[in-house]
Structure 1
Amino acid sequence: MNNILEQIIAFKKQEVAKIRKEVSVEQLVKSPEFKRTPILLATSLTEKGSSGIIAEFKRQSPSKGIINDKSTIEEVTQGYLDANIAAQSILTDTRFFGGTMVDLMNARKVNTIRPILRKDFVVDGFQIIEAKAIGADAILLIAACLTAEELKNYGNLAEDLGLSVLYEIHSREELDKISDLDGKIIGINNRNLKTFKVDLEHSIALAAEIPDTCIKVSESGISDPRVITRLKEYGFEGFLIGETFMKTKNPGKACKEFIDQLK
């Protein structure tokens, strides 16, 4: 792991330990959203007519700094829905990405029809219960910062709660950490977290090693609709895009223009 990821994970562990002292699992389970039946990410990515686009709300990142601190979560969520996204991704990490759990809760009020992925760095099962309590439908598990056992346990916990899991990998070694790939949603991050360079060829080569029973998602660095056409040829069905939309004045409009070009 590179320095920034190590920093994020170290901070996240402290942050979660602090929250656990203040909020109990019992309190989370009692939240109204906890009773909701989550919307399945796999279905929304693969159903007939799906754009396959998982559009992200992201204010800032460690590599880019501020991307968009003007657009509100409500207007972007509505814009994304109007654009016919397959799903929505929302960063809830505050320290490094400027997001909050309230962003996700506010998006949920607007978006009742598409799955919402809570994009964060899961280091504790508590965060998975928390994700359901704030209205998320799916969580992200990053293989680079979890052991094979953690990936399995956290994945099982999420599934027990009815949440979808997007497993994120960058390499064959990380793919090998995930047990029983059958039917899982596997995201290949095109951005090398050590160098922050984007390499689609690496993703395409890695995709060939993932069984066809999996749903393949391409993440990061997609800025041209033609790239999606190409990735589909290699079996990708989901495409996580954030910065391309968020760096514009009107992310929803940018998303709609992008998706309209896919038709």
Structure 2
Amino acid sequence: MTVLDDIIAGVREDLEARRREVPLTAIVEAAAAAEPVRAFDLDADFGVIAEVKRRSPSRGDLAEIPDPGTLAGLYASGGARAISVLTEGRRFSGSLADLDAVRAAVDIPVLRKDFMVEEYQFHEARAHGADLVLLIVAALDPVQLRDFHDLAASLGMTALVETHSEAEMETAIDIGARLIGVNTRNLKDLSVDTARFAPLAGRAPAEATLVAESGVAGTADVEAYARAGADAVLVGEALVIGGDPDRAVAEFTATGRSARSPRIRA
């Protein structure tokens, strides 16, 4: 069993507990009554998707974050393009309560970052105010991926489709994904190799918005990703442990905008 498999098994168990408390019919009604979606501008200049992240399987505890809304407010004041909120509890110490708090605190789009494997979770995301959701190609078969991508769109949300390989990039392209992530973390052993980004970026359609995920420790990493074709970076660890998140978001944004160059298809 890979790390991803293990995480998903836990996600399904926790989901069953929530579904017993709030059945699908009720969560669908709650999603329909939720506040309107805040659109994620796919054509905006280079930006940072700043993450509320307490811990990770690879690094353990990162930060306590007693008030995720306050942290999100700092990200927003630094110019973040969106806020990513981890809602998986077992490995990342996140929760839907964190999503609620962030949604209430900021006016920019909010991404529910979780391991989305069942329809229920998409209605749940919308019910708690998510504007975007994460779809991990490695966690879904092609039919599920297409269905969930369509479901997210039907609920008004944008799906960030995460890839790790050439085959996964082609799958993302096949379903018509406009927001594509390239995660440079290996989901089998959790190692990071930022050099994996450029070859996959070269395969992305010119019309897609490309997000570099993992491996950002400082401005040099942002610059490298931007020069390789990233339109945005998703950053968590460097922001929550750095001590000055609004300044860091502003610096990463400025660096990316200076370095950004047009993508060339392979």
Distance in structure 2 (CA, Å) of the matches to 1:178 and 1:17 = 28
Query: 1: CA distance between counterparts of 2:95 and 2:120?
Result: 16
Indicate which of 73, 88, 96 corresponds to 2:83.
88
1:210 aligns with 2:204: yes
Deviations 1:234-261 (A, max 9, x none): 3210110110011133433433444455
Q: Deviations over 1:152-211 (max 9, x none)?
A: 011110000000000001011222333635452110001112232222221101111122
Could you say what the CA RMSD is over the residues aligned between the two structures, in angstroms? 2.0
Structure 1 residue aligned with 2:94, among 95, 99, 112? 99
Output the TM-score relative to the length of structure 2.
0.89
Q: Percent identity?
A: 33
Q: Is the 8 A contact 1:182 1:214 kept in 2?
A: no
User: Are 1:177 and 2:171 matched, yes or no?
Assistant: yes
Contact 1:58 1:97 in 2 (8 A): yes
Compared CA separation, residues 34 and 166, structure 1 to 2 (3 A) = farther
Is this contact kept in 1: 2:49–2:82, CA < 8 A? yes
Could you tell me how far 1:35 is from its partner in structure 2? 3.7
Matched, 1:73 2:68: yes
Q: Contact 2:3–2:189 at 8 Å: present in 1 too?
A: no
Q: TM-score, normalised by structure 1?
A: 0.90
Tell me if 1:249 matches 2:246. Answer: no
State how far apart, in whole Å, the 1-side matches of 2:152 and 2:36 are.
13
Q: Is the 8 A contact 2:182 2:197 kept in 1?
A: yes
State the one-letter code of the partner of 1:19: R
The answer to whether the 8 Å contact 2:65/2:71 transfers is no
Q: Which residue of 1 aligns with 2:135?
A: 141
Name the counterpart of 1:63.
Answer: 58
Q: How far apart, CA to CA, are the structure 2 residues paired with 1:226 and 1:243?
A: 15
2:19 matched residue in structure 1: 20
CA distance in 2, matches of 1:159, 1:70: 31
Q: How many residues align?
A: 257
Paired letter, 2:164: H
1:249 aligns to what SS in structure 2?
coil
- In 2: Cα distance, 1:181 partner to 1:52 partner: 25
Does the CA-based 8 Å contact 1:143-1:151 persist in structure 2?
A: yes
- Aligned partner of 2:261 in structure 1 is none
* From 138, 148, 162, the counterpart of 1:168: 162
Unaligned runs of 5+ in 1: none
What's the CA shift for 1:148? 0.3
Partner of 2:191: 197
Aligned residue for 1:3?
A: 2
Give the 3 Å change call, closer, same or farther, for CA 226–110 of structure 1 in structure 2.
same
> Which amino acid letter does the alignment assign opposite residue 74 of structure 1?
G
In structure 2, runs of 5+ residues without a counterpart are 259-266
Q: Which deviates the most, 216-225 or 24-33?
A: 24-33
Assess if the C-alpha contact under 8 Å between 1:59 and 1:67 holds in 2. yes
